[in-house]
Amino acid sequence: MVFDKLFGWGKKKKEDPAITFGRYSDNNKSVTKVGRWTEADNLFKNQDYHQCIEAFFDYLRDDNEQNVVLERNGQEGRFQVFQGSKVVRGEFNNDRLQAEITLAKMPQSSVPVMRRLLEMNFNLYYSRYALDQDRICMRFDSDIKTANPNKLYYGLKELATKADKQDDLLVQEFTALQTMDTDHVLEIPLTEKEVKYSYFQKWISETLEYIKTLDADKYSGGIAYLLLTLAFRLDYLISPEGQLQNELEKLVDIYYRKDERQTIERNQLMREAYEKLLTKPKEEVFPYLFRSRHTFAIVSPQKYEVVQDAINAAAQNMPFYNENGHAFVANKVMEYPLAFCQYSYSLPKPWTDLFRIFMQVNYADYFAALGFNTKYYDVNDKSFESDAIQEAIEKIMEEWKPKYPHLAFKLHSLKYDNLVNFNQSFSTEVAALNFEA
């Protein structure tokens, strides 16, 4: 065994399945990619507009996602930008750049639909809703001489993210509309859908049953932690799209909405929302489980102090539950700030990679059910694969050193005696990360 490890004589490790988790973050650019943005900016200032566009799209392209396609022929070109269930299709020449997304088909005119589109137009800054015969679309365009990188970025981002959000919601709300232009969306295997649906049901049932054992008044804070963390976990690990994602967002909004309701009442409303989700059959969940490519984050970057404050606040609240015999709640309290930040902010790629490790430790059975061979924690004997955890963290630190030279993770500070202590020690190190570029 020792020689196998030293000289690589053991069996070759099987690859993990190519399954992505959570919301896409475009806060993942390498030093080279960031340099392409600077080049695009300089090229625009020098009035080299077409070279500027090429550098801009190269900056936008995530090589792992293959989310941007650019074809250029001299002063003219075409491009595609992928965002979830939608594709931005555009072209440019010596005079103009224009882009468009197909939202839905409207075979017959509908006054309610047109009224809704008109209302939504008022919330747009760069783009607009349009009707092309029976096709509802969104459009963005610009004179080539004013298409600087900032305008292109925010214009295409608004176009892509709004369309990706609205297409399913519009079709769901208005029976007059039909889905269009989704051929590029990749179906995931039925076995993966089955696993995701099974754990979707399991985690909701498990949480609601545990809450029944708690005093709703005395443990109102702990119950809120459980309900919110569950929503963030479903969003990250199940990764629903469209209407199902929207329902989770509405559930989360119950708690954070500014009104006069007390925590106990908010908790009850969230529980009722979960009970409705629990009744959904596979036929209502499977259509929103698919693989897609993204270019833009739907959330914004945040100062790292906000992340640190969230982790530190949870660390102060956790001991109360752990010392009162509620290790289950204690673990979710430590999961909450990491999951909340992953859900709410566009965070640097190494942070997201570390969160993935945290979730693979805490939900090892789920990852195993999906076919992952990488193992960080054994659910049966409650033991950690400390070497594998440390190796994964070291790899992340090494990969991102060029961009974040002060990035460091104190591996010796991690505790492996139980899950609560591991989660606390891991979170403490995440809070101490230095993302100065």
The amino acid that residue 17 corresponds to is P
* Structural domains of the chain in order of their starting residue, each with its CATH number: 31-179 (3.30.1460.10), 189-431 (no CATH)
Q: What are phi and psi of 148, to 5 degrees?
A: -75, 165
Residues 421, 415 contacting (CB under 8 angstroms): yes
The Cα 252–Cα 301 span in angstroms is 20
* Residue 28 identity: N
Please work out, in degrees rounded to the nearest 5, the angle formed at the alpha carbon of residue 361 by the alpha carbons of 358 and 365.
135
Coil vs helix vs strand at 434: coil
**Residues written for the chain:** 437
- Output the CA–CA distances (angstroms, integers) from residue 409 to 7, 398, 427, 429, 435, in the order listed: 27, 11, 11, 6, 12
What's residue 186's pLDDT?
A: 82
pTM recorded for the entire structure:
0.90
Q: Residues 355, 409, 314, CA angle at the centre, nearest 5°?
A: 55
CB 299 within 8 A of CB 344: yes
For residue 208, what pLDDT is reported?
98
In the structure encoding, which two tokens stand for residue 61, read together?
A: 């392209």
For 16, 25, 75, 289, 370, the CA distances from 20, given in Å and listed in that order, are 11, 12, 37, 12, 11
Give 293's DSSP letter. B
Distance of CA 412 to the CA centre of its chain: 30
Structure tokens at 173: 């709300």
Q: Compute the distance between CA of residue 211 and CA of residue 226 in angstroms, rounded to an integer.
A: 8
E strands present in 152-242? 178-179, 186-187
pLDDT below 50 — which residues of the chain? 1, 5
Q: Give the SS3 label for residue 347.
A: coil
Residue spans of alpha helices (H) in 212-326: 220-233, 242-256, 263-278, 282-285, 304-323
Q: Are 345 and 307 in contact (CB under 8 A)?
A: yes
Q: Which two tokens stand for residue 155?
A: 């214009």
CA distance 348 to 353: 9
Q: What is the reported pLDDT for 415?
A: 97
DSSP annotation string for 239-254: ---HHHHHHHHHHHHH
- Answer whether 192's CB lies under 8 Å from 19's CB: yes
